[in-house]
Chains A and B, each alone.
Chain A
Amino acid sequence: DVKVTQSSRYLVKRTGEKVFLECVQDMDHENMFWYRQDPGLGLRLIYFSYDVKMKEKGDIPEGYSVSREKKERFSLILESASTNQTSMYLCASSSHFRDRRSYEQYFGPGTRLTVT
Chain B
Amino acid sequence: AQTVTQSQPEMSVQEAETVTLSCTYDTSESDYYLFWYKQPPSRQMILVIRQEAYKQQNATENRFSVNFQKAAKSFSLKISDSQLGDAAMYFCAYRSDGGYQKVTFGTGTKLQVIP
**For B44, B98, B99, B100, which residue has the most chain A Cβ atoms within 10 angstroms?**
B44
Q: Is B91's CB under 8 angstroms from A42's CB?
A: yes
Interface size on A, residues (CB 8 A): 25
- Using an 8 Å CB-CB cutoff, how does the interface string of B26-56 with A read, 1 for contact, 0 for none? 0000000101000000011111001000000
Q: Place the interface of chain B in its size category.
A: 20 to 34
In contact, B45 and A90 (Cβ under 8 angstroms) = yes
Contact B101 A102 (CB under 8 A): yes
B100 touches A42 (CB 8 A): no
A43 beta carbon closer than 8 Å to chain B: yes
Q: How many Å lie between the Cα of A48 and that of B64 in the bound state?
A: 30
* B102/A58 in contact, CB under 8 A: yes
- Select the residue from B9, B95, B103 with max chain A CB neighbours within 10 A: B103
B46, A103: Cβ atoms closer than 8 Å: no
Bound-state CA distance A58–B103 (Å) is: 10
Q: Which chain B residues border A44 with CB–CB below 8 Å?
A: 105
Q: Do A42 and B103 form a contact, CB below 8 Å, given A103-B35, A108-B44?
A: no
Could you list which residues of chain A lie within 8 angstroms of chain B, going by C-beta atoms?
Answer: 4, 31, 33, 35, 40-45, 48, 50, 56, 58, 90, 94, 97, 102-105, 107-110
